[in-house]
Chain A
Amino acid sequence: MSTTTLAEVDVDPSETAARGKGAKFAWISGFRSPKTIVGIVIVVFFALVAIFGPLLVTTDPSAVSFNVLLPPSAKHLLGTTHTGQDIFAQMVVGARISMLVGFVAAVLATLLSLIIGLAAGYLGGIPDELLSLVSNIFLVIPTLPLVVILAGALPSTGSLSITIVISITAWAWGARVLRAQTLSLRKRDFVEAARATGESTFRIIFREILPNQTAIVAATFLSTVIGAILTQASLAFLGLTDVTEWSWGGILYWAQNSSALSFGAWWWFVPPGLCIALLGTALSLINFGIDEFINPRLRLAGIATKKGAKKALTRLQAPKQPIRGPRRQARRTGGLGSFTRGDVILEVKNLTVDYTSASAPVHAVDDVSLTLRRGQVLGIAGESGSGKSTLAYAITRLHRPPAEITGGELIYTNRDGSTVDILKLTDRELTDFRWEELSIVFQSAMNALNPILRVGAQIEDAIAAHRPDMDAQGRSDRVRELMGLVGISIDRVSAYPHELSGGMRQRVMIAIALALDPEIIVMDEPTTALDVVIQRQIVEKIMELKDRLGFSVIFITHDLSMLIELSDEIAIMYAGRIVEVGSAQEFYRNPKHPYSQGLLGSFPTLSGPKKVLTGIVGAPPDLRSLPSGCPFRTRCPHAFDACATIEPVLLPLPTVEVPSANELRSVSCHLYDPELTRVPALAEGVAK
C-alpha cells in the first residue's frame, strides 16, 4: 500500500468519453461499435424467427410427401428430406426449441452463478471455500459426458428436463467469474463507505455491488447461451433429446441417421449447423463490445497502429498551426537558446504532445522548451493533468497512442559536441540511442518489473541487447557491480520482483537505468509510491550516484518541497505549459509566477516558524476546455484584462528583477511584461 499515491492521471479523452455517458449502463455504449451492432441484428433476427416464425410457416415440418431429397427451390426454400419433409419449415420451427432451451438454460444457470458467486464473494471465509470448491469441481468434471449420462438417465427427454440438465452443468464458470468480481468489489472503498454510513448487508449486495456487475453478468449470460445452444444441439444430435420435437440439433440427428451425407443432401445438414454457428458468432460479437468496456485496453488496441505513428511523423514535419487565440510573440531575441551557459546536454525545443481522439486534439504538452546541463538535476513539478508525465515519456519517445508528438525538437549533445535530434531518429537508431545515452525510471517499480523474471536477468538483458560482444561472465560481473552501486546485496540477484520490498524494487529500477552508463536519466515520480523514510533513502542514493557517475537527471514529481531540495534548476508545469523556470534555490526564495507562489504557499513546513498557508483557489483545469488567454487566470489572484485575451509565453525576466547576473529566470505571466497595462500595485505585491 502506498501512502503518497498522488499518481499523475494522464488525460485519456477516449476513456473518459466512453465512460462519460455515465453510470449504471455505461457498458451499453459499447453497443455502438459496428461489430456489436451486427451481432445484435443477427440475434434479434433469430429471436423474431423463433417467436413468430412457427406462426407464419404454414407447412407442417413433420408432414411427409413424395418430393424426396429435393435440393433448394422456390417451393422448398431449403429442399426436402428423404421422406419429403420441408427442411425450411423444420428450421423455422426448430429455431424456437433451440433458442428457448439456450436462453432459458442460460437464465437459470446465470441465476445460479449469481447466487453462488455473490454469496461466496461477499461472505468469504468457510462458505466461500466450500462454494468455490463445488464450482471448481463442476468446472473440472468433463461437462458433456456428464450431461450425456444425466440425459441418458432421465425418465423424460423433453426440452424442460434437458434445459435443467444443461443449466445444472453450466453455472460453474459464471459463478467463478462473479465470485472474483464480488471479492474485488467488496474491497472497494465505496462498499466500505456504505458500511460506514450504516447501510444494511442486503442493500450493500443488491444496491452497491450488484449494479456494478451488470456488464459481467451480461457477458456471462451471453456466453452461457452459446454453450447451452451447442450442448442442446449435441444432445439432440446424439438422439438424447426427444427427437420428435424439432430443433436444429434434431434436424442434424435425422440427417445423420438417414445418411444425408451419402445422399449428398448438403441442404439438409448445412443449414442447422450454420444457424447455430451464426447465432453463436452474433452472441460473441455482442460480448466483444462488453469485453471492451470491461477492459478498456482492448478498446484502445485498435488505436495503437503503425498508421497512427506514421501520421504523427508526417505531422511533425508540417508547421504547427496556432490552435487557440492570439499568442504573445516572443520579442526578445535569443529566448531560451541563449541560456547556453556551461555544458548543455539536452535541449527540448517547442515540444508539443497531443492526445488525439475522435474529438479535437488535446495539447497535453504545449510548446515546451527546456534545457538540461551535464551533471545537473532539472526538476519538473506539476499537478495531475499538467502533462509532466507525458513530457517524460515524450522525451524518451516512449509515449503511447493516443499520445502523439506533433511538434518540436529534442536536441541531444554528444560528448564530442555533435548534436542529434532524438525525434528524427529512426526506430533502429532510437533503439540503439535509448538506454545507451538516455534511460528512464518509471513511477511504479512493481508494474515496471516483469513479475516472472529474476531481477538480475532484467538488469542483464539491457546489457545483452546493447553489448552483444560481452560474454556471460562480463555481463554477470556488471550486474553485480550495478547491484552494489544501488545498494542491493548481491544474493538478491536471483530474487523475483515480488520477493523484494518497494524500496528495493525501485533500486532495481535504478540499476536497470544505470546499466549502460547513460548520460541522462529521466525519473518519473520515482519515489511517489514510497514511504517518506524509504523515499529519503532512494533520493539520497540517486544524488550520490549522480555525483559519482556524473549523469544528468530530469526529475519529475508533484512534491515541490522535495524537488527544491534536490534540483539545480526547476520548471513548473501547468496545463501542459512551463510557467516558470529558474534555479531551485532562487525559485524557492522568490517565486514569480502566481501559480508558483500559490504552490509554495500550499506546503506546510517542518522547520522554522509556522508560516501562513495561502493555497490556490479552484482546481486544475480540464485540458479539453481551457480558459482563454492564460490557462491559470481563473485561479489567479492577480488576473487582469490582458490575461483573458492574450496567451502569455515563457520569457526571461527583465534583468532589473533578477537579483544576480547568473540567475536565469523565465516566467510565463503578463505581470512581468512591461508593455501590458495593468494595476501596478498588484504586480509589486506579487514581486515581493
Chain B
Amino acid sequence: MKAFLRRGLFYLITAWAAITLNFLLPRLIPGDPVSRMLARFHGQLGPNAVFALRKLFGQTSDNIWVQYVDYWNRLFHGDFGVSFTSYPTPVTTIIGQGLPWTLGLIGVCTVLSFVIGTALGALVGWKRGTWVDSFIPVTTFLTSIPYFWFGLIVVYIFALQLHWFPLSGGYTPGIQPGWSPEFVGSVVQHAILPSLAIIVSSIGYWLLGMRNMMITTLSEDYVLLAQAKGLSKRRVLTTYAGRNALLPSLAGFALSLGFIVGGSIITEVVFNYPGIGYALFQAVQGQDYPLMQGIFFIITIAVLAANLVADFLYVILDPRTRQEA
C-alpha cells in the first residue's frame, strides 16, 4: 500500500512537472512571438483571442505567480483556450474529436505489441540455441525501423500497389459515424495498415527484451529445481521462468511507454489518421500554441495513467513489492 502511495505521489509530481513545463515553454521563447503570430493571423483573431494569446505567452501585467495560478485555474476548468488554426474552435473540442481515434489505435496497438512481443520473446528465450535464434537479427532490424517510414512502405505496397486497404483517414468519408456495421467495418479497415506499421515496428523491442530476461531467468536455480521436480514444461515456462522474466519487462514497458507512444503518434501523420497525433502535427505546422499545449498535456496524462496501470499489474505479479519495510 505504501509503495502504491509512493508511486502515486511520483506520478503527481511528474504531472505537475509536465504541466509546469507546458506553462513555462511559451514564456521562454525569445523575441515577441505574439506580434509575429498576430501578423500571421492578421484580422482573423478577435480581441478575446488576442488577449488569450498574450496571456499564453505571459505578456500581461500580472507577475508570473499570478499567471501561474491563473493557468492552473483554467486547467481545472478544462479551458485550454482556442485553437488558432481552426479559429474559433476550443482546443478541448479538437482534442475530444481526436482522442478516441488515438486511444483506439495507439492504445490497442501498444498493448497488443507488448503482449505478442513478450509472448514471442518468452518462446524464443525458452527455445534458445535452436533455429528460432535466427529471428533475432530480423527483429533487431525491425526495431531500428523508423515507424513512419514503415508506414510509408505498407501504404505503398498494400494501398497503392495492391489496393487491399484504403490509403488514409480513419473511415470512408460520407458514412455517418455511429455504431452501424458499415461505419465500424470502415473504421476497422482503415485501422489495419496503421496497426500493422505500429505493431511490426515496435514488437521487436519487447521480443528482444523478454528473450534476454528469459535466458537470464532460465539459468536460475529455481527453474532448475522446477524441472527437477518433474513439473510440466508449460508450468516451468509460465509460472517459474515466464512470470519472473516478465517483471523487468513490465517495468520496462511502463518506462518506455512515453517513448513508444511518441513514435506511434507520428504514424498517424503518414496515414492522415484523425487522431491527436495528426492534430499535433498540424498544430506545430500552424504554430498553434494553445493546441500544442493541450495535446501535450493530454498525451502526458494518458501515458501517466497507463504507467499507473502497469505499476498496478507489477504489484499484483510480484509479492516482494507488497511488503514494504
**Residues of chain A whose beta carbon lies under 8 Å from any beta carbon of chain B:** 35, 133, 136-137, 139-153, 155, 173, 176, 226-227, 230, 233-234, 237-240, 249, 252, 255-256, 261-262, 264, 266, 269-270, 272-273, 276-281, 283-285, 288, 291, 295, 297-298, 300-308, 396, 398, 400, 431-432, 434-436, 439-440, 442, 444, 447-453, 461-462, 465-466, 496, 498-499, 512, 515
On whether the beta carbons of A281 and B141 are closer than 8 Å, the reply is yes
**B93 on the A face (CB < 8 A):** no
Q: A239-B285, A303-B129 are in contact. List 19 more A-B contacts (CB 8 A).
A: A139-B258, A142-B257, A142-B261, A142-B303, A145-B265, A149-B292, A155-B30, A234-B263, A237-B148, A273-B150, A277-B141, A432-B230, A435-B230, A447-B221, A451-B222, A451-B244, A453-B239, A465-B229, A498-B320
Interface string of B265-285 (1 = CB under 8 A from A): 110011000000000110011
- Assembly CA distance A226 to B143 (angstroms): 10
29 A-B pairs, CB-CB below 8 angstroms? A140-B11, A140-B258, A140-B303, A140-B307, A142-B300, A144-B261, A144-B265, A153-B25, A155-B31, A233-B146, A261-B155, A261-B156, A264-B160, A276-B146, A277-B144, A281-B140, A281-B141, A281-B144, A284-B144, A297-B219, A301-B128, A301-B215, A304-B129, A307-B129, A442-B221, A452-B317, A452-B320, A453-B240, A512-B229
- Assembly CA distance A240 to B293 (angstroms): 17
A450 and B146 contact, Cβ closer than 8 Å, known pairs A150-B25, A262-B160, A291-B212:
no
**B45 on the A face (CB < 8 A):** no
- Assembly CA distance A444 to B304 (angstroms): 39
Q: Which residues of A contact B28 (CB under 8 A)?
A: 153
Chain B residue nearest in CB terms to A300: B219
Q: Which residues of B contact A252 (CB under 8 A)?
A: 148-149, 152
Q: Which of A148, A150, A249, A442 is packed against the most chain B CB atoms within 10 Å?
A: A148
**B231 on the A face (CB < 8 A):** yes
Q: Which residues of A contact B29 (CB under 8 A)?
A: 153, 155
Nearest first, the 7 closest Cβ-Cβ pairs linking A and B are A280-B144, A144-B262, A273-B149, A305-B129, A142-B258, A462-B229, A447-B221
On whether the beta carbons of B280 and A449 are closer than 8 Å, the reply is no
Chain B residue nearest in CB terms to A273: B149
Q: Which residues of A contact B284 (CB under 8 A)?
A: 148-149, 151-152, 238, 240
Which of A153, A266, A466 contacts B230, CB < 8 Å?
Answer: A466
Q: Which residues of B contact A233 (CB under 8 A)?
A: 146, 149
**B319 on the A face (CB < 8 A):** yes
**B120 on the A face (CB < 8 A):** no
Q: Which residues of A contact B295 (CB under 8 A)?
A: 145
Chain A residue nearest in CB terms to B231: A465
Q: Which residues of B contact A515 (CB under 8 A)?
A: 229
- Assembly CA distance A300 to B228 (angstroms): 21
Q: Which residues of A contact B144 (CB under 8 A)?
A: 226, 230, 276-281, 283-284
- Assembly CA distance A139 to B14 (angstroms): 10
Near A by CB (< 8 A), chain B positions 220-269 give 220-222, 224-232, 235, 239-240, 243-244, 247, 254-255, 257-259, 261-263, 265-266, 269
On whether the beta carbons of A431 and B262 are closer than 8 Å, the reply is no
- Assembly CA distance A162 to B84 (angstroms): 26
Q: Which residues of B contact A35 (CB under 8 A)?
A: 137
- Assembly CA distance A176 to B265 (angstroms): 25
- Assembly CA distance A306 to B265 (angstroms): 43
Chain B: residues with Cβ within 8 Å of the partner, total of: 87
Q: Which residues of A contact B129 (CB under 8 A)?
A: 301-308
Q: Which residues of B contact A444 (CB under 8 A)?
A: 221
Q: Which residues of A contact B224 (CB under 8 A)?
A: 398, 400, 442, 448
Q: Which residues of A contact B13 (CB under 8 A)?
A: 133, 137
Which of B26, B216, B231, B255 contacts A461, CB < 8 Å?
Answer: B231
Distance in Å: Cβ of B146 to nearest Cβ of chain A: 5
Distance in Å: Cβ of B161 to nearest Cβ of chain A: 8
**B323 on the A face (CB < 8 A):** yes
**B10 on the A face (CB < 8 A):** yes
Interface string of B109-151 (1 = CB under 8 A from A): 0000000000000000000111001000100110111111110
**B49 on the A face (CB < 8 A):** no
- Assembly CA distance A451 to B293 (angstroms): 44
- Assembly CA distance A144 to B262 (angstroms): 5
**B318 on the A face (CB < 8 A):** yes
Distance in Å: Cβ of B23 to nearest Cβ of chain A: 12
A141 and B130 contact, Cβ closer than 8 Å, known pairs A252-B152, A284-B143:
no
**B153 on the A face (CB < 8 A):** yes
**B17 on the A face (CB < 8 A):** yes
On whether the beta carbons of B265 and A273 are closer than 8 Å, the reply is no
Which of B140, B215, B255 contacts A140, CB < 8 Å?
Answer: B255
On whether the beta carbons of B266 and A144 are closer than 8 Å, the reply is yes
Q: Which of B21, B128, B150, B259 is packed against the most chain A CB atoms within 10 Å?
A: B259
Q: Which residues of A contact B317 (CB under 8 A)?
A: 452
On whether the beta carbons of B10 and A133 are closer than 8 Å, the reply is yes
- Assembly CA distance A261 to B161 (angstroms): 10
On whether the beta carbons of B303 and A462 are closer than 8 Å, the reply is no
Q: Which residues of B contact A431 (CB under 8 A)?
A: 230
Which of A136, A304, A396, A450 contacts B128, CB < 8 Å?
Answer: A304
- Assembly CA distance A365 to B227 (angstroms): 23
Distance in Å: Cβ of B199 to nearest Cβ of chain A: 16
